[in-house]
């Protein structure tokens, strides 16, 4: 059996780390058919839109995609390609994960953190308006239906991953209506999962707790904007933004991608850390039931990081993207 997967290389370091991830996936011995499609800067050049219909059709047909990071084109007058993908594919939940690996310079030994970020609503819906010449407003839009969906998704995920606790993150003391709906909906969903402990923390307290007592944090459920920020924070806690990985989920498709962005200042130099992209590929394998192949990749990554011979600059080494990728492939047994 061959798995057909839509591939978006994306922008910046995407052109280096996505090929690295595909090389690792091919080395699992599974059979893949890559369906390369465009989004981001190249799509604007070729199709005059950040996400052409052909890209959406490919992903909806294959139901699976692996993507690199995409430049936010809002400043150039285009909608955000990531927001377009989420909206057009109905991706309502973004899972971001980061774990501690031995050999990586992080004081947070054994941290293994998951952030589930609501992915369709909040101020990232992009509803902004100028008010006079020197002021503007952004609308924070939160619905009970979507909050319940993402909360149920999170508790199901926690169960599937054998996790013990879900922490709902919010600022409902100030944003009583919007964050209030999110919090109440998540607490309502929690009642159907008595086997999973559930607590709720305000976003500022959550940020403090993550760096003060990260081992007591497990799965964090957050509205879109707080979740975006916490995703980078958990990657940093685990040693580098280059290590965070994840996937976006909806009823019709799942799109896997690392936590970080296009890293424009190092793009084209062959020095980007490909691990976030590689582990996103492993997460895709796990999602389609290829658990053994996913474990092989994770173990190979862990082994390369522990040995410390081939580390990229963000991890304190001098290895290239190709060096660390080849080292991971050599460890895949
Ligand atoms: P960024 O994540 O691209 O970079 C932040 C810092 O981390 C930089 O110093 C960068 O060099 C470093 N870094 C990131 N990934 C790395 C890797 N794999 N290996 C080594 N170093 C790495 O964030 P920034 O600069 O705020 O955003 C750049 C562009 O990426 C923007 O257009 C932004 O909108 C976009 N972006 C796209 C995302 C996506 O497509 N999911 C997510 C985050 C940002």
Is the Cβ atom of 70 under 6 angstroms away from ligand 1? yes
In 3D, which of 157, 127, 112, 79 has the Cα closest to residue 224?
A: 127
Q: Which ligand 1 atom is the nearest neighbour of the CA of 13?
A: 18
Nearest Cα residue to atom 9 of ligand 1: 263
CA–CA dist 306, 156 (Å, integer) = 32
pLDDT-derived band at 215 (thresholds 50, 70, 90) equals confident
CA–CA dist 178, 12 (Å, integer) = 35
Is the Cβ atom of 82 under 6 angstroms away from ligand 1? yes
Torsion of CA 280, 255, 157, 239, to 10 degrees: 30
CA distances from 127 to 134, 135, 136, 139, 228 (A): 17, 14, 11, 5, 18
Q: What is the pTM of this model?
A: 0.95
CA–CA dist 169, 113 (Å, integer) = 14
**Is the pLDDT score of 127 beyond 90?**
no
- The pLDDT of residue 106 is 84
**Is the pLDDT score of 121 beyond 80?**
yes
Q: At what angle do helices 275-287 and 291-307 cross, to 10 degrees?
A: 160
- The pLDDT of residue 333 is 79
- The pLDDT of residue 311 is 96
pLDDT-derived band at 126 (thresholds 50, 70, 90) equals confident
**Is the pLDDT score of 88 beyond 90?**
yes
Q: Which ligand 1 atom is the nearest neighbour of the CA of 40?
A: 40
Is the Cβ atom of 121 under 6 angstroms away from ligand 1? no
In 3D, which of 15, 39, 61, 1 has the Cα closest to residue 270?
A: 15
């Amino acid at each position: 059996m061959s798995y057909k997967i839509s591939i978006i290389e994306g922008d910046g370091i995407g052109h280096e780390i996505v090929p690295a991830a595909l090389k690792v996936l091919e080395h699992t011995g599974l059979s893949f058919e890559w369906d390369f499609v465009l989004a981001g800067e190249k799509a604007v050049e070729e199709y005059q839109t950040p996400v052409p219909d052909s890209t959406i059709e490919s992903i909806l047909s294959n139901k699976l995609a692996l993507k690199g990071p995409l430049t936010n084109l809002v400043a150039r007058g285009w909608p955000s390609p990531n927001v377009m993908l989420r909206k057009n594919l109905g991706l309502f939940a973004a899972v971001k994960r980061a774990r501690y690996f031995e050999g990586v310079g992080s004081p947070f030994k054994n941290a293994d953190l998951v952030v589930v970020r609501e992915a369709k609503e909040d101020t990232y819906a992009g509803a902004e308006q100028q008010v006079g010449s020197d002021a503007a407003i952004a609308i924070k839009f939160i619905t009970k239906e979507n909050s319940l969906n993402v909360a149920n998704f999170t508790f199901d995920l926690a169960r599937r991953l054998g996790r013990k606790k879900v922490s709902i993150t919010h600022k409902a003391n100030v944003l009583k209506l919007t964050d209030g709906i999110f919090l109440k909906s998540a607490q309502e969903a929690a009642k159907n999962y008595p086997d999973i402990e559930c607590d709720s923390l305000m976003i500022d307290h959550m940020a403090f707790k993550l760096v003060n007592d990260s081992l007591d944090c497990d799965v964090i459920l957050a509205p879109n904007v707080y979740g975006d920020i916490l995703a980078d924070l958990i990657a940093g806690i685990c040693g580098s933004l280059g290590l965070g990985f994840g996937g976006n989920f909806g009823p019709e498709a799942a799109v896997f991608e690392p936590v970080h962005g296009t890293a424009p200042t190092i793009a084209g130099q062959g020095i980007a850390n490909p691990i976030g992209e590689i582990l996103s590929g492993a997460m895709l394998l796990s999602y389609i039931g290829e658990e053994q192949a996913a474990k092989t990749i994770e173990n190979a990554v862990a082994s390369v990081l522990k040995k410390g011979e081939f580390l990229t600059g963000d991890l304190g080494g001098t290895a290239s993207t190709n060096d660390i990728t080849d080292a991971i492939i050599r460890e895949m047994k």
